[in-house]
A = this chain, B = another copy of it.
């Protein structure tokens, strides 16, 4: 990363933290140059970049200002207490109707689970694919099918190491996306009828998987910014025979909440005390807006209790279907279970990603991706504060590509979902994120696609639909 990029990121962080407030002036070039000990041209380059990212605006003769994302800032949603007793799960049909709504590419994809593939280096990946295939012998094909691509394994282990989390290579199992990783992990540590602690609201696929495996959910409430309520979790672990936890400690889907380091440590201490495995879904690991990459709960895992699941689907290669799991003490069982279910992720896809990680410039791509997402978040928040009613609350996560909106109680997001779809807009209604069909007045919207006049018009339409309740 160049000096001016680093400086731009520092300023961006100050804007995010609120140290530099919307509408406020940022240090002049001369001030910044003196204060940070960098050349004026470096400051200029950084400010151009921040302008480009939509974070600041230049006003002629008076300098640079933090962009006013919104005429008014939406309040943070409230934390919803969850009913903590165990629930059978049956949310599938509802979630599928949201997925189905995305099949028509003419639909405005606010309900999508994936960012726009146009944000990814698909052409560069295709070149990596061609190169990977050229170098591959028939023996390699069979060998990589059971063990996984050796280069890819090395690259993933390396990335753990660079984050200060050395990973014994034996712990790593390459999977068909994070979804398979999560499935295998959960199956390894549970039997039908078992209780599993999940978040509330939770990623709908986790509800579907629990439903499929005939597991029962214990919903733990999540604070919209600070993450899971550890006091409630501690109480549940003490009272109930919970067999596994399935959490996202970072950029939780749908809220975007993240636990801080201290809370992550506390969470690990809890599961260790009760010897309950944690399936840590870290699919958004690379999509943080902050300059320093956060570490998962896995960092504390001295007993192999954490099954840490990652993926390239949200950060590099959608549709390649390559993920992984650092399986802790369950790694061998996970690996064998995989041989019985899909045998292996696609070998060419593994080779392509391995080559790209070595030669493609992954970290540069990630920086661009994060900046694009951060800009789009600002655009959606600004549109929301213009178009949605005053009482609307919204999250403002430090990464990812989802916003969570809480409307007045009278708004029924299931009806809203159907009405929006008739207008060609897909959204994700609150109840698909809950085993108990809560969050009926909430909505998850994705800003994962580049912002266009069509997005703007769709927000206006949504606002009108909400107003009608």
Contacts and interface: CB of A to CB of B under 8 A. Distances in A.
A133 B123 CA distance: 8
A158 interface: no
Contact of A142 (B96, B179, B318): B318
Contact of A349 (B126, B130, B147, B348): B348
Contacts of A322: 346
A214 B179 CA distance: 22
Interface in A101-123: 102-103, 105, 112, 114, 116-118, 120, 122
B96 A117 contact: no
Contact of A321 (B116, B117, B347): B347
A126 B130 contact: yes
A325 to B, nearest CB: 13
A341 B129 contact: no
B348 A346 contact: yes
Interface string A344-355: 111111001000
Interface stretch (A57-65, A205-213, A287-295): A205-213
Interface stretch (A222-230, A250-258, A332-340, A452-460): A332-340
A421 interface: no
A177 interface: yes
B212 A177 contact: no
Given A96-B336, A129-B129, A346-B349, A144 B319 contact: yes
B343 A321 contact: yes
Contact of A147 (B103, B145, B342): B103
A70 interface: no
B122 A141 contact: yes
A139 interface: yes
Contacts of A321: 145, 176, 342-347
A320 B347 contact: yes
A134 interface: yes
Contact of A319 (B116, B142, B176, B342): B142
A146 interface: yes
Contact of A143 (B103, B347, B348): B103
Contacts of A337: 212
A344 to B, nearest CB: 6
A345 B141 CA distance: 17
A374 B414 CA distance: 60
A38 interface: no
Contacts of A136: 122
A235 B139 CA distance: 46
A299 interface: no
B138 A120 contact: yes
A340 B205 CA distance: 6
Interface string A159-194: 000000000000000001101100100010000100
Contact of A118 (B112, B122, B138): B138
Nearest to A184: B341
Query: Which 9 residue pairs of A and B lie closest in terms of their CB atoms, listed nearest first?
Result: A117-B138, A346-B346, A319-B347, A126-B133, A141-B319, A176-B342, A346-B349, A118-B138, A208-B340
30 contacts: A96-B339, A117-B138, A117-B141, A117-B142, A118-B138, A122-B138, A122-B141, A126-B130, A141-B318, A141-B319, A142-B319, A144-B319, A176-B321, A176-B342, A176-B345, A176-B346, A177-B342, A177-B343, A179-B340, A179-B343, A183-B341, A183-B342, A192-B192, A192-B214, A208-B340, A319-B346, A320-B346, A321-B345, A322-B346, A348-B352
Given A122-B141, A145-B318, A179-B341, 19 more contacts: A92-B340, A96-B336, A99-B146, A102-B142, A117-B139, A126-B130, A129-B133, A142-B319, A145-B319, A176-B346, A177-B342, A183-B340, A183-B341, A192-B214, A212-B337, A320-B347, A321-B343, A321-B344, A321-B346
